[in-house]
């Protein structure tokens, strides 16, 4: 399991262990080196959730994240799910750009998720991660 990558997206090993053994884990490889990971979890009969997506810092910005998400959407369509969802922090500006560019739309805000679930405050882009945003994309026909 590429923990170094998984921890880039989710800094809590406890949280990772909660979903990893009930999920499918996809990796992107370059010359046998794992450079990206995406974790797909079945939320309900109609929905798959991307629980974790990460690309090695030296390989970011080269389309690997987009490739991993396109692969997850194809997988969900093939398996006849209706929706793919992804959750991220209010402070994850780049990630929010990527997900919305790929057709995900904001559907819900889980207020104060990060301040309740994580013992230490998390900052990104000079913004405290407080709320978790849920984005969804319809897939299939």
Residue numbers of the site for ligand ACO (CB under 6 A)? 8-9, 50, 52-55, 60-66, 86-88, 92, 94-95, 97-98, 101
Q: Which is nearer to ligand ACO, 94 or 112 (CB)?
A: 94
- C-alpha to C-alpha distances, 121 to 31, 72, 87, 115, 126, nearest whole angstrom: 37, 31, 18, 7, 12
Residue nearest ligand ACO by beta-carbon distance: 94
CA distance 3 to 52: 11
What minimum distance in Å lies between the beta carbon of 64 and ligand ACO? 4
Instruction: Supply φ then ψ for residue 3, to 5 degrees.
Output: -60, -35
Q: Which is nearer to ligand ACO, 97 or 116 (CB)?
A: 97
- Note whether 104 and 133 are within 8 A (CB): no
What minimum distance in Å lies between the beta carbon of 141 and ligand ACO? 25
Q: Which is nearer to ligand ACO, 29 or 141 (CB)?
A: 29
Give the strand order in the sheet containing 47-55: 23-30, 33-44, 47-55, 83-89, 132-138, 105-110
Structure tokens at 15: 């949280």
Q: Which is nearer to ligand ACO, 88 or 90 (CB)?
A: 88
- Residue 33 half-sphere exposure toward CB, CA atoms < 13 A: 8
What minimum distance in Å lies between the beta carbon of 46 and ligand ACO? 19
Q: Which is nearer to ligand ACO, 53 or 84 (CB)?
A: 53
What minimum distance in Å lies between the beta carbon of 7 and ligand ACO? 9
């Amino acid at each position: 399991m590429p923990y170094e990558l998984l921890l880039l997206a989710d800094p809590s090993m406890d949280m990772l262990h909660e979903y990893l053994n009930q999920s499918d884990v996809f990796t992107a490889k370059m010359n046998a080196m794992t450079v990206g990971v995406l974790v797909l979890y079945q939320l309900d009969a109609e929905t798959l959730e991307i629980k974790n997506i990460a690309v090695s810092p030296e390989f970011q910005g080269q389309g690997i994240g987009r490739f991993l998400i396109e692969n997850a959407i194809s997988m969900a369509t093939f398996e006849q799910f209706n929706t793919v969802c992804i959750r991220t922090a209010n402070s994850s500006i780049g990630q929010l750009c990527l997900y919305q560019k790929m057709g995900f739309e904001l559907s819900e805000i889980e207020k104060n998720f990060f301040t309740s679930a994580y013992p230490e405050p998390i900052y990104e882009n000079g913004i405290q991660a407080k709320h978790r945003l849920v984005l969804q994309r319809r897939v299939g026909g």
